[in-house]
Amino acid sequence: RRAVIFDTDPGQDDAVAILAALASPELDVLGIATVAGNIPLAHTTRNALKLVELAGRPEVPVHPGCDRPLGRALVTAEHVHGETGLDGPDLPDPTTRPQAMHGADFIIETVRARAPGTVTLLTLGPLTNVALAFAKAPDVATRLKELVMMGGGCFEGGNITPAAEFNVYVDPQAAAMVFRSGVPITVLPLDVTHQMRSTRARIAAFAALGNRSGAAVAAMLGFSERFDIGKYGWDGAPLHDPCVTAFVLDPAIFEGRPVNVEVETASELTRGMTVTDYWGVTGRPKNAFWVRSGNADRFYALLTERIGRLP
């Protein structure tokens, strides 16, 4: 089984990514570090606790991490995710408590306690905890097997500004540190997540599973009239973070190539932009595997089958 740690700001799409992983026997979810992003930290932590309980896995520890980006004020996205961050399903208040250890320290301690090259970090939000962990303990970047992240965009541009994707925009300093850390990185950017659209038929397939988790996922993906989307005008909303879980479960669903990625941290106009050298014009060292496309039918089939294994 592959040992993984989530770093996340749930978020409906984070929720689906986490639930699918908890349902997957190939993955050993060692714990969840939460971070401020889509909504403030108290909500992301509470939502993570709701998810481990929904999955029947309350023993998976939830560690609250950073409540703000490294060098700037927090930007949130209630306009996308609702006030709680997990609007849509009616999930019970969690009875499990968050852990006392900070999320960044949890990453450090867990990676150090295991053999080098055995732990994979799955990041679904701003990279604040990860950058803090690497700054406090540089050996963690070299001990990790790899980091698989949802973030950034190249061909599809941005989603919070014309240039920047939300997770990178919220904490560009942290993202820049992570891309320069030397850890092997796979990126699931907007270029691929925009292809994974939650059409009515795909949402109905989750609802038809007949379990509580399937109903919850359908309610999350259907939240806030996602079909009247003035923004995209598509037949469904993009589903971002579950691309990370799907990639570790079945990388053959996706296609991409090694590239150099640098993050813009200064410019007012393009702050948080992932400057991705897809055509190799700079000669800068390749520091990430950039996923550009994926098979949406296979992606949804995998997710639906996994969610069907949960309570």
Q: Which residues bind Ca ion (CB under 5 A)?
A: 9, 11, 14, 124-125, 241
Q: What is the DSSP letter of 293?
A: E
Site string for ligand BDR, 107-126 (x = CB under 6 A): -----------------xx-
Stretch of 10-18, 53-61, 86-94, 280-288 lying at the interface with ligand BDR (CB under 6 A): 10-18
The verdict on 167 binding ligand BDR (CB under 6 A) reads: yes
Measured CA to CA in angstroms, residue 177 lies from 25, 128, 134, 141, 306 at distances of: 32, 10, 8, 11, 34
CA 185 to chain centre: 13
Closest approach, Cβ 120 to ligand BDR, in A, equals: 17
Choose the one of ligand BDR, Ca ion, none that binds residue 24, judging by a C-beta under 5 to 8 angstroms depending on kind: none
Residue given tokens 């941005």 in the structure block = 158
DSSP character at residue 12? H
Of the pair 16, 107, the CB lying nearest ligand BDR is at 16
Of 288, 3, 299, nearest in space to 145 by CA: 3
- Written as one string, the DSSP assignment of 18-66 is HHHHHT-TTEEEEEEEE-SSSS-HHHHHHHHHHHHHHTT-TTS-EEE--
Q: How far is the CB of 35 from ligand BDR (least distance, A)?
A: 11
Active-site residue among 43, 63, 194, 240?
Answer: 240
Q: Is 7 in the site for ligand BDR (CB under 6 A)?
A: no
Torsion of CA 218, 170, 48, 5, to 10 degrees: 110
Binding mask 131-150 for ligand BDR (x = CB under 6 A): -------------------x
Q: Per 3-state DSSP, what percentage of the chain is helix, strand, and coil (rounded to 5)?
A: 35, 20, 45
Closest CB to ligand BDR among residues 101, 299: 299
In the complex with ligand BDR, which residue's Cβ is closer, 13 or 264? 13
Nearest residue (CB) to Ca ion, 166 versus 209: 166
Helix (H) or strand (E) holding 198: strand 197-198
Question: Nearest CA to 48 among 7, 106, 100?
Answer: 7
From ligand BDR, Ca ion, none, interface partner of 77 (C-beta below 5 to 8 A by class):
ligand BDR
Of the candidate residues 18, 21, 32, 80, the single one contacting ligand BDR (CB under 6 A): 80
Burial of 99 (0-12, 13-18, 19+ CB in 10 A): middle
Residue facing ligand BDR at closest CB distance: 166
Which is closer to Ca ion, CB of 81 or CB of 143? 81
Q: Please work out the total of residues on this chain that contact ligand BDR, with binding judged by CB under 6 A.
A: 15
Part in contact with ligand BDR (CB under 6 A); list of ranges 47-55, 96-104, 161-169, 280-288: 161-169
The answer to whether 198 contacts ligand BDR (rule: CB under 6 A) is no
Binding to ligand BDR by residue 14, rule CB under 6 A? yes
Rounded distance, CA 293 to CA 127, Å? 23
81 is known as an active-site residue: no
Q: Hunting for tokens 């990514």 — which residue is that?
A: 17
Report the alpha-carbon distance of residue 173 to residue 263 in Å, rounded: 8
Residue 277 interacts with ligand BDR (CB under 6 A): yes or no:
no
Summarize as ranges the residues that interact with ligand BDR (CB under 6 A).
Answer: 11, 13-14, 38, 77, 80, 124-125, 150, 159, 165-167, 240-241
Residues tagged active-site: 240
